Amino acid sequence: METSRKHQSKENEPSKQRRPSSMNRGIREIAEMERRNQDSRSRMDLFSGAVTNFAGSGTAIVIHVIWFAAWILINVHTVPGIAAFDPFPFSFLTMVVSLEAIFLTLFVLISQNRMSQEADRRARLDLEINILAERETTMILRMLNEISGHLKTDGGTRSELEELLEETRIDELAQKLDDALPSQ
């Protein structure tokens, strides 16, 4: 009896194989696009990404806290047997931290530029998909309009339908949006 319940529950579970093929195709296409993005990264992009990922981690914070504490404790003569090498006001520490900040800033900028380029590429793709979807929707509305005319059915939304049947002019829409938004 126990095995038959398990068998029945497995039959009722949605299977990964039962997903529509269009969903699987979309997932594969997105994964392929992400792989192409990763494969197109230069060595500097990969290195910058690794540095910024590490610098933004909890491990980096702990390392810096230990490093600064040890540096200060050694250089204020509180650690016996180790001679101070950068007495207060810790000029050498200031220089090292400044250099670290400069290089870290450069690595972050490289990573942000790459992420911005990828985001721009995705935004252009989204726009293209939205334009195609709008054209497809307009075509479907035209077909439904023809079917409704053939069946002699007329809803109360005729004027709105006529407006939606017109092709959307992206340039006009963009201009209206630009005019409506506050200038920078």
Contacts of 141 (CB under 8 A, 6+ apart): 161, 164, 165
Q: Which two tokens stand for residue 112?
A: 């942000």
Q: Can you give the pTM of this predicted structure?
A: 0.64
Identify the DSSP state of 19: S
- Higher local confidence (pLDDT), 181 or 62: 62
pLDDT digits (tens, 9 = 90+) for 14-51: 555 566 677 788 788 888 888 988 888 889 999 999 99
Tracing tokens 């209206």 back to the chain, one arrives at: 176
* DSSP per position, 82-126: ---SS-TTTHHHHHHHHHHHHHHHHHHHHHHHHHHHHHHHHHHHH
